[in-house]
Amino acid sequence: MAKQSERSGEMALKALARAAAHDLKGPLNRISGFTELLQRNLGEKLDTQSQEYFGIVLRSAQQMNRLIDDLSDYVRVISQDVSQDGAFLSVDLNEIVSAAKLQLHELISERSAKVSTFSLPTLPGSPDALLRLLVEIIKNGITHNRSPNPEINISALSDGKEHIISISDNGVGIDEKNVDKIFEPLISLDRDNSQSGLGLAVASHIVERHKGTIKVNTNAEQGAEITLTFPI
């Protein structure tokens, strides 16, 4: 009975997210469309400051659009099983990282980033969910990295009971006061960035569904390190 009630609650949450996304994006698209139309019609009549104001409105609308999409995606992730019928497959993390790098090719190229791996294990899990997990962590490590050449290093070890995956970067680290907040939804530590702050919250839920743990260590001189543990 409890399981059925939980599934009903998840379905209701997903339905609410879909309805909210639909009802919010309609007015938002009209704001963007009419703002662009007004900007074109006024053309050269607009002074520099007015052009800047129009730009702010359009960028804000785009940011809100991304946030609505990310919220819908977040609700979808937290209200679904990581794999059909809960059946895990044997997943080679080396292959998953290769797929993640391919998916993030544009960002990696744009930031002249380097993603290196060192003998990653094969573990039980959902390939799609683990791909999403690593995409979010790698993307976060590059996006919030102020180094001219971001570096992400992914290594692993096993203690016989758990696989321990370390994902480190060469950024400036994370302020200690924000470490406990980094996996909370809607927390964006870099306000100049277009990310919603939901990526690591999604990653945290995926790890939880795999019966694992996720934590972050930070050092201003050595960057940040995210540690994942998964049962063998």
What are the distances in angstroms from CA 135 to CA 15, 48, 109, 143, 173?
26, 40, 15, 12, 19
Predicted confidence band at 195 (pLDDT cuts at 50, 70, 90)?
A: low
Q: What is the DSSP string of 196-232?
A: -S-HHHHHHHHHHHTT-EEEEEEETTTEEEEEEEEE-
Write out pLDDT tens, residues 128-141: 999 999 999 999 89
Write out pLDDT tens, residues 16-61: 667 777 778 888 889 999 999 999 999 888 898 999 999 999 988 8
Give the 3-state secondary structure percentages of the chain, helix then strand then coil, rounded to 5.
55, 20, 25
Contact 230, 220 (CB under 8 A): no
Q: Which two tokens stand for residue 40?
A: 């074109």
CATH superfamily of 88-231: Histidine kinase-like ATPase, C-terminal domain (3.30.565.10)
**Domain ranges, ordered by start, for the chain:** 2-78, 88-231
Fold of 2-78: Methane Monooxygenase Hydroxylase; Chain G, domain 1 (1.20.58)
This model's pTM is above 0.75: no
Write out pLDDT tens, residues 101-130: 999 999 999 999 999 998 899 999 999 999
Distance CA 131, CA 93 (A): 9
